[in-house]
Structure 1
Amino acid sequence: MLTNSRGISLILAFAISALVAAFLSLMPDTNLTILVVAWGLSFSVSYLLITITLEFLVFREIGNIYSLLEKIQKKDLFEISDKSIKSSSLSPLRKINSVINSYALARQKEIETLQKTAEFRKEFIADISHELKTPIFSAQGYIHTLLDGAIEDKQVRLKFLKRAAKSLDSLDVLVQDLLTLNQMESGVIKFIFTEFDLKLLIEEVIEELEHKASKRKIKIDFTFDHEKNYITKADHQKIYRVCQNLIYNAVKYNHDGGEVKVSLKASKTNIQVDIKDDGHGIPPDDLKRIFERFYRVEKSRNKKEGGTGLGLAIVKHILEGHQSKISVSSTVGKGSMFSFSLPLIKDKKTLERELAESKSLTP
C-alpha cells in the first residue's frame, strides 16, 4: 500500500486532517459539526494535492527512469527518444530523466559510430587483401616458375621477369596511393599553392593521354574561351593529378570510338572544369560510393582494366584541400560528367579590360 502514490496520500491526508481537527478542538466555540467539516475538507484537499504531486512529479518520473534504465540494461537503445531532452519541467526527477536519456542517446550514437567504423575496417581489410593478393601472387608465380627450371630458357626467363616486374610495379603504385591517401587524411601532406595557367596544365594532361586514347580511337575534345584568362592559385602537382585521373577515367571507361569532352568555364571568381564522356555511365546506387577507397562499379571489368581503386578517393581529398568539391552526374549507357572548380586569379590584362569596361559604362 505504501508503494504507490494513493497509499502515501491517504496516510498523509489522515495525518494532516487529524492535526487540523486537533488544532481546532483547542479553540473555544468549536463544536462537533465544525470539527467534522474541517476534518473532511482538510482530508479531501490534502489527499488530492498530495496524490497529484506524488503521481505526476515523483512516481511517474521514477517509472520513466526505471523504464529507461531497463532499456539501457537490455541494450535496447533504438527505442530511446530524444523527446524528454527537449521537454522542460520544474521537477528535479524530470531533469534527472532528461540527463539519463541524453546520456543514453550519446552512447547510442557512439555505438553506431563504432559499428560503422568496425564495418569499414572489415571492408577495408578485405579490399586491401584482395588488391595486394593479385600482384603478389602474380609475381610469385612467375618467380617460382623460373626457379623450377624455366630460368634456363632465355626467352621464357626474359618474358617472365618482365611480367613479374610489371606486377611489382602495380604493387608499388598501390602502396604509394595508399600512403598518399593516408597522409592526406591525416594532414601530413602540405599543399604548395602557386599561380599557374589551368588551361596549359590540362593541355599537358591531354597530350600525355592522347596516345592511349588513340589506340581505342577515342577523341579528346578540349574547349575554352580564347579571350578569357584561366590563371588559378593551387597546388600544381596535385591538380595535375586530379585532371590526369579524371581524364584517364573518362578514356578508360569509354567505348571504342567514343569522345571525351573537357571544358573550361571562367566566371567572375571561379574556373569550372567539366570532364564528360559518352561511355558506360554509373548506376544511381553506385554514385554515392564511387569516392570510397577500392570501390568499383563493376568489379570484374575494372579488375581486367587495372587501377588501384583509390584514384577518385585521392581526387576528393585533393579538392577538399583546395576548399573545393568534386561533383558527378551520370546516366547509364550515355556517360558521366565530373566537375570541380578552382579560384580565378585575374591577370593584369583582364583587370585593365574590366576597368575600361566599367569606365565606359559610367555616365
Structure 2
Amino acid sequence: MTWEIWLIGVLGILCFILGFLVFILNKKSKKLSKENVVHDQTNEEDYRRDFVANVSHELRTPVSIIKGFSETLLEDFENVKEKKRKDFLEKINRNANRLHSLIEDLLLLAQFDGNPNSLKLQTIDLTKTIREVVEECKSRWNPQELNVLLDLPNFEVPITVDPQKMISVFENLLENAFNHAKELSRITIRLKIIEKHTIALCEIEDDGQTTIAPAEIEKLFERFYRVDKSRSRARGGTGLGLSIVKDIIEAHNGQIVAKQSKIGGLIFTFKLPLQAKDS
C-alpha cells in the first residue's frame, strides 16, 4: 500500500539522521582537537555533551509523534476511519518536514565547520537578490497580516558573494522574525553603501513586541538557543537559523550584530565588503 511505502521512507529518514549525527560529531571533535590543543579533551567532551543534548531535544518530539501515529496505523489500520488516517498522515508529514529542516541546517553548519573556504563566489546584484527573496517569502505569508517594506538603493549593488549562501542569510533572518516576533505586522529591510562604496550595510528590523534582555541578545547567535522555546517550535524553527547567518556573514569577512529596536522588535545589522579578498 502507498501509505506503507511512505512510512518506510520516513523511518529510513530517521535512520539517516542518526548516522548523520554521528558523522557531525566526528567532524566536530576533529575540528576542536586542531583548534584547541591545550584544552582539547575538555572542549571535545563539552561539545559532544552539549551537541547531543541539544539535537536529542530537537529530535525527541517529532520522532515521538511520527513513531506514535505510524504504530497506530500499522497495528490498527482497518479500524481507523479514513478521516483519522489522513489526520495521522498529515501529522507525520509535518513532523517529517521539521526533521528535514533540521537536517538541512545541520548540513550547512557542517559544511562551514569542515571547509570554511567552500564559498562559490560570484558577483551578483544585492538589491535584486533581496527583492527576489522577499517575493519568495511573501508567497508563504499572508500579506494581510505581514507587510515587508524595502528601503533599497535605486541602482544595482554589485557584490562578490556565494549567491546561495546569501539567499540563506535573508531567508533565515526573515524566518526568524516570522517565527519569533510577537504581534508582528511589519518587517523593514534597509540597504546602504558606506565607507566610500566599499561596504554594504544591511538592516532587517521587525516591529514585533518582543523585549529581550541584553544578555539574551548576546546569545541569539548560539546554536539551538531560543528566547521563547514554545513559540519557535510551534512555528517550526530549528534554533540554528541565526547561527547559520553568523557563519555565512563571517565567512564573507563580514560582521553581524543584533539589538532591540525602538519600535519594539529586533534589528539585525550586518556589513559585507563589496569585493571579496580573493577576488
TM-score range, shorter chain: 0.7 to 0.9
Q: What secondary structure is seen at the aligned counterpart in 2 of 1:275?
A: strand
- Aligned position for 2:204: 275
Aligned-residue CA RMSD (Å): 2.4
CA drift at 1:255: 3.5
Q: TM-score, normalised by structure 1?
A: 0.60
- Aligned position for 1:184: 112
CA drift at 1:249: 1.5
- Structure 1 residues 341 and 237 mapped into 2: Cα distance closer, same or farther (>3 Å)? same
Which range moved further: 160-169 or 236-245? 160-169
Q: What secondary structure is seen at the aligned counterpart in 2 of 1:315?
A: helix
* CA distance in structure 1 between the aligned counterparts of 2:262 and 2:71, rounded to whole angstroms: 44
Q: Deviations over 1:289-329 (max 9, x none)?
A: 21111111122222222211111111111112111121111
- Structure 1 residues 188 and 232 mapped into 2: Cα distance closer, same or farther (>3 Å)? closer
- Aligned position for 2:224: 294
The code of the aligned residue for 2:148 comes to I
Q: Deviations over 1:12-35 (max 9, x none)?
A: xxxxxxxxxxxxxxxxxxxxxxxx
Contact 1:275 1:337 (8 Å CA) reproduced? yes
> Which of 253, 256, 259 is the aligned partner of 2:186?
259
> Which of 90, 96, 99 is the aligned partner of 1:168?
96
CA drift at 1:185: 0.9
The code of the aligned residue for 2:98 comes to S
CA drift at 1:242: 0.4
Contact 2:146 2:185 (8 Å CA) reproduced? yes
Contact 2:255 2:272 (8 Å CA) reproduced? no
Do structure 1's residue 236 and structure 2's residue 163 form an aligned pair? yes
The code of the aligned residue for 1:337 comes to I
Q: Deviations over 1:205-253 (max 9, x none)?
A: 1111224443661211001231x43111111111001011112212333
Q: Deviations over 1:54-107 (max 9, x none)?
A: xxxxxxxxxxxxxxxxxxxxxxxxxxxxxxxxxxxxxxxxxxxxxxxxxxxxxx
Contact 2:261 2:267 (8 Å CA) reproduced? no
Which range moved further: 116-125 or 282-291? 116-125
CA drift at 1:154: 2.2
- Structure 1 residues 168 and 118 mapped into 2: Cα distance closer, same or farther (>3 Å)? same
> Which of 185, 193, 206 is the aligned partner of 2:134?
206
- Aligned position for 2:235: 305
- Aligned position for 1:340: 270
Contact 1:150 1:156 (8 Å CA) reproduced? no
- Aligned position for 1:221: 149
Contact 1:216 1:257 (8 Å CA) reproduced? no
Q: What secondary structure is seen at the aligned counterpart in 2 of 1:342?
A: strand
Q: Which protein shows a greater Rg?
A: 1
Q: What secondary structure is seen at the aligned counterpart in 2 of 1:214?
A: coil
* CA distance in structure 2 between the aligned counterparts of 1:324 and 1:210, rounded to whole angstroms: 27
Do structure 1's residue 323 and structure 2's residue 250 form an aligned pair? no
Q: What secondary structure is seen at the aligned counterpart in 2 of 1:326?
A: strand
CA drift at 1:114: 4.5
The one of the two structures with greater contact order (alpha-carbon pairs below 8 A, sep at least 6) is 2
- Structure 1 residues 252 and 216 mapped into 2: Cα distance closer, same or farther (>3 Å)? farther
Contact 1:218 1:256 (8 Å CA) reproduced? no
- Aligned position for 2:51: 124
Contact 1:219 1:257 (8 Å CA) reproduced? no
* CA distance in structure 2 between the aligned counterparts of 1:189 and 1:181, rounded to whole angstroms: 13
CA drift at 1:111: 7.1
- Structure 1 residues 114 and 283 mapped into 2: Cα distance closer, same or farther (>3 Å)? farther
- Aligned position for 2:33: none
Q: What secondary structure is seen at the aligned counterpart in 2 of 1:320?
A: helix
Q: Percent identity?
A: 33
Q: Deviations over 1:90-149 (max 9, x none)?
A: xxxxxxxxxxxxxxxxxxx97766445433432221111111111111111111111232
